[in-house]
Amino acid sequence: MKTSIATFASSPRLRSLTTLALLSAALPNTASAATVYWNMQSAVPTSNNALNLTVSNLTRGNNNGTTTLLGTTTPSSTYSFSLEGTTTSASGSSNAAAAARSGALNTATSAFFEFTLNPAAGFTGNLSALGFGTRSTSTGPSSMTLRSSLDNYSSSLASFTGTTNGTWTFQSATLGTPVTLPENQSVTFRLFGFGGAGTASANTANWRVDDLQATVATIAATPPATVPEPATAMSSLVVTAAGFALVSRRRRTTT
């Protein structure tokens, strides 16, 4: 079946199909949220559902003396949280522990837990939320803040308030503005604990964290190719069709 210029121009179906194809090509790449999760059985992430994203092991800094990072003392309990849309109970067993200094926040001395996100070449990403189980003793942190290496940990991305009575609670926050992860560049995030009362003892864990989860997304860094407006593209297709028709008539004339 041959399609003439007149048929193409007057056919609503052909015009609709062409417009849909052009609009589909013009739609930008979208990022879908995924979760990086640690249940603290290991410093290695328990799961990472984000594509094209490298995630580091969980580490700790500014510890007040010497304590074991992961252990089974005082397993998490009493809270539940949403993990990939499923309500999940505290994982129990192992947790991450720190000996946190008392007093106000000081990024040079306040204890923190740390992880690093690095999108692959050709991709950017973002971090939009954080959640975790936390337990503090009377000298442990009553407040936590999430900060990043992008500004040398100078500004708070999210704030959390815990209890200091030895009870586990789950804290979560959605960032007001997701943190952009530049293409092929590592960004380190630190969860600082501070605000403890009294005088914390060195070499004694007074802050524990479990079921840490970060909501992240990745997206192709290269924007989609520029496509013409549907009206312009339609004109181009009509002109092209006219050219083919002219060539066809000339061939019939010369044969």
| Pairwise pLDDT comparison (47 vs 21), residue with the higher score | 47
Kindly state the tokens that stand for 154: 């100078």
The predicted model gives 178-190 an average pLDDT of 96
- Model pLDDT, residue 32: 74
Instruction: Give the closest residue to 117 by CA, choosing from 36, 41, 60.
Output: 36
Cross-strand pairs, 82: 87
Which domain, by its residues, includes 170? 34-220
Give domain status of residue 229, yes or no: no
The Cα–Cα gap between 156 and 164 comes to: 22
Give domain status of residue 234, yes or no: no
The predicted model gives 226-241 an average pLDDT of 48
Give domain status of residue 137, yes or no: yes
Give domain status of residue 111, yes or no: yes
Give domain status of residue 246, yes or no: no
Q: Are strands 158-161 and 143-148 parallel, antiparallel or unpaired?
A: antiparallel
Give domain status of residue 60, yes or no: yes
For 223, list phi and psi in degrees, rounded to 5.
-65, 155
The predicted model gives 116-124 an average pLDDT of 96
- Residue 154: CATH number of its domain: 2.60.120
Give domain status of residue 225, yes or no: no
- Find the helix or strand (DSSP H, E) in which 192 lies: strand 187-194
Q: Indicate whether 253 pLDDT > 70.
A: no
The predicted model gives 145-169 an average pLDDT of 97
The per-type count for the chain, helices as H runs and strands as E runs, is 3, 15
Q: What's the number of domains the chain is made of?
A: 1
One-letter amino acid for residue 169 of the chain = T
Chain segment 190-224, per-residue pLDDT in tens: 999 999 999 999 999 999 999 999 999 999 987 65
Give domain status of residue 162, yes or no: yes
One-letter amino acid for residue 96 of the chain = A
The pTM of the full predicted model, rounded to 2 decimals, is: 0.78
